[in-house]
Amino acid sequence: MLQRIVKPLLLLVLLTLVQRTYATEGMWLPQLLSNLNEKEMKGMGMKINASDIYNINKGSLKDAIVSFGGFCTAEVISSQGLLLTNHHCGYDAIQKHSSLQNNYLENGFWAKTAAEELPNPSLTATFIVRIDDVTKSALLDVKPGMSERERQSAIDKRLNDIKQTAKKEAWQEIMIKPFFEGNQYFLFVTETYKDVRLVGAPPSSIGKFGSDTDNWVWPRHTGDFSMFRIYAGKDGRPATYDKDNVPLQPKYFLPISLKGVKPDDFTMVLGFPGRTTEYLPSEGVKQTVQVLDAAKVDMRDVALKIMDGYMRKDEQIKIQYATKYASTANYWKKWMGEMQGIKQSNGIGKKLQYEAEYQKLLLTNPTWKQQYSGVLDSLNAQYRQIQPYAAARDYYSELVRNVELFAAGDRLINFLNDVHEKGEGQYESLRQQFLESMQPFYQNYNARLDHDICASLLEIYATGVPKEFTGNEFAQIRAESNNDSRILADKLYASSGLTSMDKLKAFVQQPYNTVVAQMWKDPATRLVIAMRKGFVDNISKPLSDLQSNINNLQRTYMQAQMDVMGNKKRFYPDANSTLRVTYGKVDGYSPRDAIHYDFYTYLDGVMEKYIPGDYEFDVPAKLIDLYKKKDYGRYGVNGRMPVCFIASNHTTGGNSGSPALNAYGHLVGLNFDRTWEGTMSDINYDPAICRNIMVDIRYVLFIVDKYAGCTRLIDEMKLVN
Ligand code: ARG
Ligand code: GLU
Minimal-distance CA residue to ligand 2 atom 6: 673
Find the ligand nearest to 679 CA.
2
Q: What is the CATH number of the domain that holds 649?
A: 2.40.10.120
Mean pLDDT of 542-556: 96
Q: Are 188 and 131 in contact (CB under 8 A)?
A: yes
Residues 555 and 653 in one domain: no
Catalytic residue among 60, 78, 88, 522: 88
Give DSSP secondary structure letters for 341-395: HHHHTTHHHHHHHHHHHHHHHHTT-HHHHHHHTTHHHHHHHHHHHHHHHHHHHHH
Residues 236 and 268 in one domain: yes
Radius of gyration of the chain, Cα coordinates, nearest whole angstrom: 27
Q: Taking the chain, what is the end-to-end CA distance rounded to the nearest angstrom?
A: 37
Give DSSP secondary structure letters for 561-626: HHHHSTTT----PPP-SS-EEEEEEB--B--STT--B-SEEEHHHHHHH--TT-TTT---HHHHHH
Does the pLDDT value for residue 629 go beyond 60? yes
Does the pLDDT value for residue 265 go beyond 80? yes
Q: Which of 193, 215, 236 is at the close of a domain?
A: 193
Residues 325 and 350 in one domain: yes
- d(CA 216, ligand 1 centre) in Å: 7
Measured CA to CA, the distance from residue 24 to residue 651 in angstroms comes to 11
Find the ligand nearest to 329 CA.
1
pLDDT digits (tens, 9 = 90+) for 278-299: 999 999 999 999 999 999 999 9
Q: Nearest to residue 555, comparing CAs of 336, 308, 382, 367? A: 382
Exposed / middle / buried, residue 668 (Cβ in 10 Å: 0-12, 13-18, 19+)? buried
Does the pLDDT value for residue 2 go beyond 90? no
Residue 270 lies in a domain: yes
Q: What pLDDT, on a 0 to 100 scale, did the predictor assign at position 319? A: 82
- d(CA 212, ligand 1 centre) in Å: 8
User: Parallel, antiparallel, or unpaired: how do β-strands 65-68 and 266-271 relate?
Assistant: unpaired
Which ligand 2 atom sits nearest the alpha carbon of residue 72? 10
Residue 212 lies in a domain: yes
Q: Which of 563, 598, 625 is at the close of a domain?
A: 563
Q: What pLDDT, on a 0 to 100 scale, did the predictor assign at position 315? A: 85
Q: What pLDDT, on a 0 to 100 scale, did the predictor assign at position 30? A: 98
Q: Nearest to residue 562, comparing CAs of 384, 380, 361, 374? A: 361
Give DSSP secondary structure letters for 228-247: EEEEE-TTSS-----TT-EE
Minimal-distance CA residue to ligand 2 atom 9: 652
Which ligand 2 atom sits nearest the alpha carbon of residue 652? 9
Residues 206 and 180 in one domain: no
Residue 4 lies in a domain: no
Q: Are 523 and 380 in contact (CB under 8 A)?
A: no
Which pLDDT band holds residue 21 (cuts at 50, 70, 90)? low
Residues 496 and 438 in one domain: yes
Best-predicted range by mean pLDDT (21-35, 90-104, 139-153, 192-206): 192-206
Measured CA to CA, the distance from residue 107 to residue 206 in angstroms comes to 10
pLDDT digits (tens, 9 = 90+) for 199-258: 999 999 999 999 999 999 999 999 999 999 999 999 999 999 999 999 999 999 999 999
Minimal-distance CA residue to ligand 1 atom 3: 673
Catalytic residue among 656, 673, 681, 696: 656
Q: What pLDDT, on a 0 to 100 scale, did the predictor assign at position 17? A: 44
Which pLDDT band holds residue 145 (cuts at 50, 70, 90)? confident
Coil/strand/helix, residue 135: helix
- Protein residues with CB under 6 Å of any ligand 1 atom: 88, 211-212, 215-216, 326, 330, 653, 656, 673
Residues 579 and 610 in one domain: yes
Decide if 656 is catalytic: yes
Q: Which of 656, 670, 679 to mutate to test the pocket of ligand 1 (most atoms within 8 A of CB)?
A: 656
Q: Are 455 and 487 in contact (CB under 8 A)?
A: no
Q: What pLDDT, on a 0 to 100 scale, did the predictor assign at position 586? A: 98
- d(CA 415, ligand 2 centre) in Å: 34
Give DSSP secondary structure letters for 326-349: HHHHHHHHHHHHHHHHHHHTTHHH
Measured CA to CA, the distance from residue 226 to residue 90 in angstroms comes to 6
Which pLDDT band holds residue 470 (cuts at 50, 70, 90)? very high
Measured CA to CA, the distance from residue 211 to residue 91 in angstroms comes to 13
Measured CA to CA, the distance from residue 96 to residue 284 in angstroms comes to 40
Measured CA to CA, the distance from residue 290 to residue 343 in angstroms comes to 10
Q: Assess whether the previous peptide bond of 219 is cis (omega < 30° from 0).
A: yes
Does the pLDDT value for residue 329 go beyond 50? yes
Catalytic residue among 224, 394, 574, 673: 224
Measured CA to CA, the distance from residue 683 to residue 334 in angstroms comes to 12
Q: Which of 524, 543, 563 is at the close of a domain?
A: 563
Q: Are 239 and 245 in contact (CB under 8 A)?
A: yes
Residues 624 and 681 in one domain: yes
What's the maximum distance between 2 C-alpha atoms anywhere in the chain? 94
Q: Are 423 and 453 in contact (CB under 8 A)?
A: no
Which ligand 1 atom sits nearest the alpha carbon of residue 210? 10
Does the pLDDT value for residue 19 go beyond 60? no
Decide if 224 is catalytic: yes
Residues 613 and 472 in one domain: no
Residues 85 and 143 in one domain: no
Which ligand 2 atom sits nearest the alpha carbon of residue 655? 10
- d(CA 91, ligand 2 centre) in Å: 14
- Those residues whose C-beta lies under 8 Å from the C-beta of residue 193, and which sit 6 or more positions away, are 66, 124, 125, 126, 127, 230, 231, 232, 238, 239, 248
Q: Which amino acid is at 172?
A: Q
Measured CA to CA in angstroms, residue 94 lies from 130, 245, 247, 620, 657 at distances of: 32, 21, 20, 18, 15
Q: What pLDDT, on a 0 to 100 scale, did the predictor assign at position 7? A: 46
Which pLDDT band holds residue 511 (cuts at 50, 70, 90)? very high
Measured CA to CA, the distance from residue 311 to residue 35 in angstroms comes to 54
pLDDT digits (tens, 9 = 90+) for 571-594: 999 999 999 999 999 999 999 899
The CA-CA-CA angle for residues 69, 70, 74, to 5°, reads 65
Q: What pLDDT, on a 0 to 100 scale, did the predictor assign at position 510? A: 95
Which ligand 2 atom sits nearest the alpha carbon of residue 274? 10
The helices-and-strands tally (H runs, E runs) of the chain is 30, 20
- Protein residues with CB under 6 Å of any ligand 2 atom: 651-656, 672-674
User: Parallel, antiparallel, or unpaired: how do β-strands 109-110 and 719-720 relate?
Assistant: unpaired
Does the pLDDT value for residue 544 go beyond 60? yes
Mean pLDDT of 619-626: 98
Does the pLDDT value for residue 553 go beyond 50? yes
Q: Which of 71, 652, 691 to mutate to test the pocket of ligand 2 (most atoms within 8 A of CB)?
A: 652
Does the pLDDT value for residue 95 go beyond 90? no
- Those residues whose C-beta lies under 8 Å from the C-beta of residue 255, and which sit 6 or more positions away, are 665, 666, 667, 718, 719, 720
Residue 544 lies in a domain: yes
Residues 337 and 253 in one domain: no
Return the percentage of the chain with pLDDT > 90, whole number: 93
- d(CA 516, ligand 2 centre) in Å: 42
User: Parallel, antiparallel, or unpaired: how do β-strands 719-720 and 256-257 relate?
Assistant: parallel
The count of structural domains within the chain is 3
DSSP classification of residue 637? B
- d(CA 90, ligand 2 centre) in Å: 13
Exposed / middle / buried, residue 423 (Cβ in 10 Å: 0-12, 13-18, 19+)? exposed
Residues 182 and 109 in one domain: no
- d(CA 17, ligand 2 centre) in Å: 32
Residue 466 lies in a domain: yes
> What is the extent of the structural domain holding 174?
127-193
Residues 290 and 248 in one domain: no
Decide if 88 is catalytic: yes
